């Protein structure tokens, strides 16, 4: 596919999403499609395991599901200091969903693009976490929960007092408010950009490897894929842990 438009054309082709609309109302259909499919896959797997759960010798799927639930539950116990039935399921959902997003980066670069071109689809990006719209949408959802629980636990007055009276006391309200606004806005921005940046860089390296001579590609793609697996798992873990930490901070009522 590199010969179609040279090196630059090949890279641009792989980094261009399938989209409709213009400006703010542009929708990236490939991101929405793969996010929905991977989310449905996550729900189907855990639902099917829950329906077939046994107290006897568990199968491979049940072992994996229980391992994931226990792993996330332990992270919540270690990090979250409030009382909420939402946090553990939310942490499990975020970790598994982001992990599945990231795993799409391990598919051969041209595989799904070739299939889509045979179906008349010119552009296709298959890794949702390399789309800044997806990572920001997920981080903004977490941010909304942070604000919701901050108001729910502390009350409107308590939350307003926290924004205006910390850390330097009520006599420096404007400065306190400025610091708190920056601190709160930095949470979703850092969540979104960290995930996007790491996966975008990984995707770009896979694309550059695909441009090399055929005999070099296996020598470089396999080691990079092994290393990239660590990034895939780590970024999903970081997103989950920071979500739990931020929600734990929102539950703290001083």
Determine the angle formed by the axes of helices 217-251 and 87-103, rounding to 10 degrees.
160
- Cα 157 to chain centroid, rounded: 33
**What's the sign of the alpha-carbon dihedral 27, 33, 36, 38?**
negative
Catalogue the active-site residues: 190, 194, 198
Helix and strand totals (H; E) in the chain? 8, 2
Q: How many CA atoms lie within 13 A of 108 on its CB side?
A: 9
- Spatial separation of the C-alpha atoms in residues 76 and 97, rounded to whole Å: 17
Q: Residue 131 CB: number of other CB atoms within 10 A?
A: 22
Q: Residue 181 CB: number of other CB atoms within 10 A?
A: 11
């Amino acid at each position: 596919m590199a010969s179609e438009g040279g090196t630059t054309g090949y890279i641009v082709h792989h980094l261009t999403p399938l989209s409709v609309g213009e400006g703010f109302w542009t929708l990236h259909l490939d991101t929405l499609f793969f996010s929905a499919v991977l989310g449905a896959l996550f729900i189907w797997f855990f639902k099917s395991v829950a329906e077939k759960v046994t107290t006897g010798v568990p199968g491979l799927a049940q072992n994996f599901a229980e391992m994931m639930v226990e792993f996330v539950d332990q992270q919540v116990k270690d990090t979250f200091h409030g009382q909420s039935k939402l946090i553990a399921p939310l942490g499990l959902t975020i970790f598994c969903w982001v992990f599945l997003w990231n795993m799409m980066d391990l598919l051969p670069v041209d595989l799904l693009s070739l299939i889509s071109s045979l179906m008349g689809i010119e552009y296709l990006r298959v890794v949702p976490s390399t789309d800044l719209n997806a990572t920001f949408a997920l981080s903004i959802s977490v941010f909304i929960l942070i604000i919701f629980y901050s108001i729910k636990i502390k009350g409107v007055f308590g939350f307003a007092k926290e924004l205006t009276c910390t850390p330097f006391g009520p006599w420096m309200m404007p400065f306190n408010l400025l610091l708190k606004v920056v601190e709160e806005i930095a949470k979703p921005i850092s969540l979104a950009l960290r995930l996007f940046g790491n996966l975008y860089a990984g995707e770009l390296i896979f694309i550059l490897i695909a441009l090399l001579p055929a005999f070099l590609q296996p020598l470089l793609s396999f080691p990079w894929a092994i290393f990239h697996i660590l990034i895939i798992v780590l970024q999903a873990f970081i997103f989950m842990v920071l979500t739990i930490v931020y929600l734990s901070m929102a539950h703290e009522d001083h």
